[in-house]
Amino acid sequence: MEDCIFCKIVKGEIPCTKVYENDDVLAFADINPIRDGHTLIIPKVHAENIWEISGESLTAIHLASRKVAAAMKKALEPEGIAFVQLNGRGVNQIVMHYHLHLVPRPKGAPELPLTGWEMIPGDMEKIKEIADDIAGAVQIA
């Protein structure tokens, strides 16, 4: 896609710090790392979000993510690695080309903001009502 910054990275028109690449995906360092080692994995074929990406690209991303996560574990020995993926402006998706964030928490680094939420028990009736709404809308493939 013409004006897409990540498509430009795929085409080599904008530089990136590459971590891993195969025919379907590219993994590179995020330029605004939440923690050291923050890496993005993107499909080479443009798709905006989880609703648009093909099954093939999605599979390729997740297989590659396992490879990159294994490498991170070996190279950085982090406390853990969070996988984060945003869909839509309403949840702060900034780059509208599907990407999976791999965010390691280095040893001794503060907890990631996105993994530190408070556990507050929900209203079970409301939980069930909403889950039923979602379940009712699931498409049987």
Contact residues for Zn ion, defined by CB under 5 A: 1, 4, 6-7, 46, 97
Residue number with CB closer to ligand 5GP (92 or 139)? 92
CB of 29 to ligand 5GP, least distance (A): 6
Q: Are 5 and 95 in contact (CB under 8 A)?
A: yes
To the query of whether residue 99 is one of the catalytic residues in this protein, the response is: yes
Task: Give residue number: closest CB to ligand 5GP.
Answer: 32
What are the CA-CA distances from residue 101 to residues 30, 38, 41, 75, 139 (Å)? Answer: 8, 7, 7, 17, 27
Q: Are 81 and 104 in contact (CB under 8 A)?
A: yes
Residue number with CB closer to ligand 5GP (47 or 86)? 86
The amino acid occupying position 47 is: A
Residue number with CB closer to Zn ion (45 or 82)? 45
- Measure the CA–CA gap between 126 and 128, rounded to whole angstroms: 5
- Measure the CA–CA gap between 62 and 79, rounded to whole angstroms: 21
Query: Which residues of this protein are in contact with ligand 5GP, per CB under 6 A?
Result: 5, 14, 16, 28-32, 86, 92-95
Catalytic residue among 46, 97, 99, 101: 99
Residues carrying an active site annotation: 99
